[in-house]
Structure 1
Amino acid sequence: MKDLCSSNNEENVKERLNDLINQVSMLYSSKNIIVHYLDHFKRKATLTKLDDNAPESVEKACIDFGVRNVSRFYHVESDYYDWELQRRAFRLIAPSINHLCKSVIFENTRCSHDSIDDPLNSKYYCVITQYVGSINTQKLMNFVRTLKHKQLSKKYYNFRVADEEKSVRLTGFESNGVSPIGMTFQIPMILTNAITELQPPVFYLGAGHIDWKLALPINSFIHI
C-alpha cells in the first residue's frame, strides 16, 4: 500500500509538472511576451560577467563577431548530461527543451578532397540541431548536393559523424562542449530548419567546455 501511494504521488507530481510546462509553452506563444523575453534576455547578456574559468576562446569570438552583448554564458553542474532534457532546460531557464541544441561535426567520407574551404562541397560540416531531433544523413546528403545543383554524383557523398579525434582537431573542443563560435577552423555550418522556427527565437549551445553553455538570439547567429 505504501509503495502504491508513493507511485500515485509521483504520477501526480509529473502530471502537475507537465501541466506547468504546457502553460509556459502557451505563454511563450504570445508576440508581446516574445518581445519582452528578448529584451530581458539581451539585458541579462549585457550585464553578465564571466569568471576566470569561462572558455576564453568562445567569449573572444563572440566579442570579435560583435555578439557578446547578446550572448549569455551558463556554468552548469558536472553531472548536467546525466539529467533529463527538461531538467537541463529548467537549469538554463530555457523556454523549452526544443531550444536545447548541439553542434555535431559530420564528415563526407567519399569527398574527393580533404578541404573545408568550399562551403558548397566541404569535407566536413558542423550541423547544428536540436536535442529533441535527429539528423537524417540521407537528407543531409540531399541538401549538400543541392548546394552544387546536384552536379556531383551521389557516389561522392557519404556522411557520418566525425570521430572524436577529428572533431577535436577541427573545433578545438571536446565532446558536449563543441561550440560553433570560436572553433579552431571555420567549418561550414548547417542549421536545421526547426531551429529557425523556435519561439522565442533563441537557442542554447555548447560553449567550448562540457561545463559551459552559450545562448544567443538565432537571428544574431545567422547574421554573423
Structure 2
Amino acid sequence: MEDTLQLLTKQISALYSSPKLEPFYVEYFMRKARNAKLDENAPEVVQKVEKACNELGIRNVLRFYKVEGDYYEWELQRRAFRLVAPSIDHLCKSVIFENTRCIHDNIDDPLNSKYYCVIVQYIGSINTQKLMNFVRGLKNKSISKKNYNFRVADSEKSIELTGFENNGVSPIGMNQELPIIIAKSIIELKPAVFYLGAGHVDWKLALPIKNFIDATKCLIADLA
C-alpha cells in the first residue's frame, strides 16, 4: 500500500510539472486567485497579511487556505494533498535568523542586517555556513568573518519582529520589514508556485514565485 501511494504521488508530481500541462496548472491557479476572497472571519493577523499583499500589488495572484487544527501533525504528503500543492517540494516555511555577532542592531541595510527572514522548503535545510558566506559576500567580504554567526532567532524575538507565532510566520506583513532571502531551490520549482505561512498557524497562502520575488525584491541564495 505504501509503495503504491509513493508511486501515485510521484506520478502526480510529474504530471503537474510536465511542460505540456504546467501552463494549464498555472492558468487554473491564477484564475482561482483572481476570484478568491478572504473569509471575513479570518484572524486579524491573516487580514494584516492580506492588507500587505494588497499594498505590494500581489493580492490578485495569491490564494489563502484555512487548514485543520492538527495540520502540523500530518505527514508532508497529506499537507500537500490538502492544499492541492503540486508536490511536497512546494511547501515552504519562513525562518527568522539572527547574526549574533553583528556590530549593530539595525535591519535597514539588507546587505548587512542583524536579522533576516529566510525562506526554505520543508524538505530542505539551511546551511548556516552558506548563509554566512552569502551575506558576507553582499558586502564583498569587507566585513570580517568574526562579525558573523547566524542562528535561528528565539521565538520571542521572532514574534516581536514579525507579529507571527511559530508555524504561522509570513514573509509578507511582518511588524518590521526584515530583508528576505529565498533559497535558490525554490525558484527552480515546477510549476513555479509555492506555499507559505499566512500569519496564523491555521492559515496558508500560495502565489507564483516570480510575483513574490518582483514584489519583495528578496535576495536569492544557495543555502543547501
Please give the TM-score of this superposition, normalised by the length of structure 2.
0.93
Kindly indicate whether residue 40 of structure 2 is the aligned counterpart of residue 52 of structure 1. Answer: yes
Match of 2:163 among 172, 187, 212: 172
The alignment covers a number of residue pairs equal to 212
Name the structure 2 match of 1:95.
Answer: 86
Displacement of 1:32 in angstroms is: 2.4
Displacement of 1:15 in angstroms is: 1.5
Q: What does 1:137-148 correspond to in 2, within 5 Å?
A: 137-148=128-139
Displacement of 1:18 in angstroms is: 1.0
Name the structure 2 match of 1:115.
Answer: 106
How far apart are the structure 1 equivalents of 2:192 and 2:128?
Answer: 26
Displacement of 1:52 in angstroms is: 2.2
Cα RMSD after superposing both structures: 0.8
Name the structure 2 match of 1:15.
Answer: 3
Match of 2:154 among 163, 169, 172: 163
Q: What does 1:1-224 correspond to in 2, within 5 Å?
A: 13-54=1-42, 55-224=46-215
CA deviation profile, 1:59-85 (whole Å, cap 9, x unmatched): 111111111111100000000000000
How far apart are the structure 2 equivalents of 1:215 and 1:77?
Answer: 17
2:21 counterpart SS class? helix
Match for 2:18: what amino acid? S
How far apart are the structure 1 equivalents of 2:10 and 2:132?
Answer: 35
2:120 counterpart SS class? strand
Please give the TM-score of this superposition, normalised by the length of structure 1.
0.93
Displacement of 1:25 in angstroms is: 1.9
Match for 1:51: what amino acid? D
Name the structure 1 match of 2:219.
Answer: none
CA deviation profile, 1:112-159 (whole Å, cap 9, x unmatched): 000000000000000000000011111100110100000011100000
How far apart are the structure 2 equivalents of 1:195 and 1:20?
Answer: 23
Displacement of 1:30 in angstroms is: 1.8
How far apart are the structure 2 equivalents of 1:83 and 1:53?
Answer: 25
Displacement of 1:53 in angstroms is: 2.8
How far apart are the structure 2 equivalents of 1:168 and 1:26?
Answer: 38
2:151 counterpart SS class? strand
Identity %: 68
How far apart are the structure 2 equivalents of 1:25 and 1:165?
Answer: 37
How far apart are the structure 1 equivalents of 2:165 and 2:18?
Answer: 38
> Is there any run of 5+ residues in structure 2 with no aligned partner, and where?
216-224
- Stretches (4+) displaced over 6 A: none
